[in-house]
Amino acid sequence: MTEPLLRLEGVVKDYGDEVVTRVLHGVDLVIARGEFVALEGRSGSGKSTLLNILGLLDRATAGEIWLEGRRVSDLDEAALTELRARSLGFIFQFHHLISALSAVENVMMPLVARAGRVRRGMRERGLAALNDVGLGDRADENTRRLSGGQQQRVAIARALVGDPPLILADEPTGNLDSTTADEVFALLRRASRDKGVAVLMVTHDRELARRCDRTVTLLDGRIAGATGPTREATSPLAG
Ligand SMILES: Nc1ncnc2c1ncn2[C@@H]1O[C@H](COP(=O)(O)OP(=O)(O)O)[C@@H](O)[C@H]1O
Ligand SMILES: [Mg+2]
């Protein structure tokens, strides 16, 4: 069997030194290549904490994570930074674009960060990614001049530009009206299909979650129900 894109076993996260609060209580989760997974759960259930750990921005207190077959706990900070730059794209509720830069300059940022400097071809790749989200004609626009939905599309282009196998999206449509949220979601869904990129998307929108391949629910720091794409294979209806 081939290694899944992402595998978590017993991931625990505690916050605090004096008073320890356990936020994740042993999370098991498998995400296959190309899967589009919704992550649901009420406020405070640990969704952002889990995404930060998966994003290699924070360390788990206990448990193991494998990303593209590499065990994260074996890696030092430099190796984590490299793995993050190569394997992950990020989209947040607020676009986190750099307002002093143009749309295409923002999209190029992950490439620049990965290479340590601007290289030939990066602008072209940024333009192609902007084209994919329908904003090729706004490439040199300052991002402050774009609408909320357009800014979030720039953020999607930025997440996709380096062709990472996994995108982590923390309520990417949470700050948009429902029509714009629908459009932005559809764009992300299509990009994921076209490029075979897996997405783990936190959302409170039941309608959007239904349109994902699978929904994972966090309940008080634990995954409720099935934890991997093997669910269909073990279903009695699968025959
Ligand atoms: N840096 C932190 N230090 C202490 N507690 C935290 C920290 N970050 C989050 N928490 C707590 O962890 C719990 C889960 O938070 P979070 O992961 O943000 O949940 P969600 O994204 O599902 O709303 C909450 O009770 C929150 O107060
Ligand atoms: Mg959150």
200-222 pLDDT, tens digit per residue, is 999 999 999 999 999 999 998 99
Cα(231)–Cα(239) distance, rounded to whole angstroms? 13
User: Is pLDDT at 235 greater than 80 in this prediction?
Assistant: no
Q: Which residues of 75-84 are buried (b: 16+ CB within 10 A; e: fewer)?
A: beeeebeebb
C-beta separation of 131 from 194 below 8 A: no
Where are the chain's structural domains?
A: 6-96+165-238
Q: For residue 226, what pLDDT band results from cuts at 50, 70 and 90?
A: low
- With a pLDDT cut of 70, the percent of the chain lying above it is 94
Which ligand 1 atom is nearest residue 218's CA? Answer: 22
- Taking the CA of 21 as reference, the closest ligand is 1
**How many residues comprise the chain?**
239
Which ligand has the minimum distance to the alpha carbon of residue 46? 1
So what's the pLDDT on residue 227? 59
pLDDT in tens, 81-116: 999 999 999 998 887 899 999 999 999 999 999 899
Which residue's C-alpha comes closest to atom 27 of ligand 1? 44
Instruction: Give Cα 238 distance to the centre of its chain.
Output: 29
**Atom 18 of ligand 1: nearest residue by CA position:** 48
Cβ(27) – ligand 1 distance below 6 Å: no
Q: Which residue type occupies 72?
A: V
CA distance 138 to 150: 9
Nearest CA to ligand 1 atom 7: 15
Task: Specify the CATH number for 6-96+165-238; select among 3.40.50.2020, 3.40.50.10140, 3.40.50.11540, 3.40.50.300.
Answer: 3.40.50.300
